[in-house]
Chains A and B, each alone.
Chain A
Amino acid sequence: MTSRMTEIWVGLFVAAGMVALFMLAMQVSNLSTYSNADGFDVIARFDDASGLKVRSPVTMAGVRIGRVKAIRFDDQTFEAVVTLRLGKSHTTLPEDTSASIYTAGLLGEKYVGLEPGAGSNHCEDQALEAELEGGTSNPADCKGNGASNVLHEGSHITLTQSSMVLEKLIGQFVSKFLSDSKVGNKK
């Protein structure tokens, strides 16, 4: 084995190792889909954020538009303060967007679902009006109009719905069932 062949083989080996690492980074892990740098943070307060984890997905209309960045506990209000990092292109979400914690599947992971509030359809209204008047609407106008009351860095989502805890639900159901049956017995 000449030293040239040795060097070629070592070069191949190192290249293969790099390719493997690159494949692990890009194909296996979330490096390609998730980066912390671009986006903006909004804060949502929940009475109960059980099951939610850092890096849980944030979706709107079933499409992931961000991730949970941090979850902490507020000592004053006894609420869970969840910081959501949304992708930087999602700047048209109305301020009255509501956040709910849902479960993917029956036992799946928890995620935050965002739903646009009533103020969101001003774009559609404009489009309708424009159509009625016989013209076409320009989405750029719409963006400009809504800029004053959209979610931006640091804004708070006030309408929230907490995660559903199975034990609580069952407990409510059982207590309701028991009280109903007691009433029934008295009658």
Chain B
Amino acid sequence: MLAMLQSLGRKALDFFQRLGRGHILLLRILAGSHTLLARFDLVIKQIFSVGVLSLLIILVSGLFVGMVLGLQGYNTLVDFGAEESLGVVVSLSLVRELGPVVSALLFAGRAGSALTAEIGLMKATEQLSAMEMMAVDPVRRVLAPRFWAGVISMPLLAAIFSAVGVIGGYFVGVGLLGVDDGAYWSQMQANVDFYSDILNGVLKSFVFGIVVTWIAIFEGNDALPTSEGVSRATTRTVVHSSLAVLGLDFILTALMFGS
């Protein structure tokens, strides 16, 4: 009985300690970011490995998600004789939800896991300690560029995802299923609002970018410096950031589109 209580208490303490370490790390990254203005090439290098290398998966899945939306939306709408609204269905669901959420999930799988593994291995091979020995702050030199690269890349990736998805829906809806070309775009323009739909979608992806990158960097920095520790940290990154994205998405949606 007492042992059970003790293990419960230890788990709770562990959890709060990790939460605290995560926040301290985030604060240190934010506090150490001003030096990046002088060395922006570090961020650019990271944007390449985080953003550019994620482009392929984002483009392909965006296209296919849009095509599936076009197909499914058409099949439902045609029953009501409202297939002209296909553009609205595709664009609203992409811009508001699927664009930010699916690209954040893909981003967690593609870039977040890589970040964790890289930082975890740096820690396991004591590169980070070596930097500290040379009076180079690894938070500023290693973590901060990766954090900002993720935060910058995520909204861009989500925008690309949504745009490619709308084009995919256009291919299927107008090209294959014979929805009117003009109706597809005009209904979309009549019903999608720039501020309340598109900018809120961008805001969502920005928040997801912060959360996913933060979790990835924290898990990497907090990993046990062994092969097993790194592998577990990588798994945790993907699981935790996916859950965080889905949970936050509900909260953000309720705040943005609730009333």
Contacts and interface: CB of A to CB of B under 8 A. Distances in A.
B198 A29 contact: yes
Interface in A2-37: 3, 6-7, 9-10, 12-14, 16-21, 23-25, 27-33
B190 A30 contact: yes
Contacts of B47: 10, 13-14
B45 A6 contact: yes
Interface residues of B, number: 30
A31 B199 CA distance: 11
Interface string B150-166: 00010111011011101
B197 A29 contact: yes
B162 A20 contact: yes
Interface in B161-198: 162-164, 166, 185, 188-190, 192-194, 197-198
A55 interface: yes
Range for the number of chain A residues in contact with chain B: 20 to 34
B251 interface: no
A6 to B, nearest CB: 5
B221 interface: no
Contacts of B44: 6-7, 10
B189 A21 contact: no
Contact of B156 (A9, A20, A33, A55): A20
A27 B48 contact: no
For A3, A10, A14, A55, the residue with the greatest tally of chain B CB atoms inside 10 Å of its CB is: A10
Instruction: Specify the main secondary structure of chain A where it touches its partner.
Output: helix
Nearest to A17: B156
A122 to B, nearest CB: 34
Contacts, number: 83
Instruction: Specify the main secondary structure of chain B where it touches its partner.
Output: helix
B55 interface: yes
Interface in A41-60: 55, 57
Given A29-B192, A30-B192, A24 B48 contact: no
Contacts of B95: 24, 28
A21 B159 CA distance: 6
Contacts of B164: 20
Interface string A126-147: 0000000000000000000000
A7 B45 CA distance: 7
Contacts of A24: 95, 159, 162-163, 166, 198
Given A23-B163, A28-B95, A13 B192 contact: no
Interface in B35-74: 41, 44-45, 47-48, 51-52, 55
Contacts of A19: 163
B202 interface: yes
A26 to B, nearest CB: 9
Interface of A: 1, 3, 6-7, 9-10, 12-14, 16-21, 23-25, 27-33, 55, 57
Given A17-B155, A20-B156, A28-B91, 18 more contacts: A6-B48, A9-B52, A10-B44, A10-B48, A10-B52, A12-B52, A13-B153, A16-B160, A21-B156, A21-B159, A23-B163, A24-B95, A27-B185, A28-B163, A28-B198, A29-B198, A33-B189, A55-B193
Closest 4 pairs (CB-CB, A-B): A17-B156, A20-B163, A29-B194, A31-B194
15 contacts: A9-B52, A12-B52, A14-B47, A21-B159, A21-B198, A21-B202, A23-B166, A24-B162, A24-B163, A24-B198, A28-B166, A28-B192, A28-B198, A29-B192, A29-B194
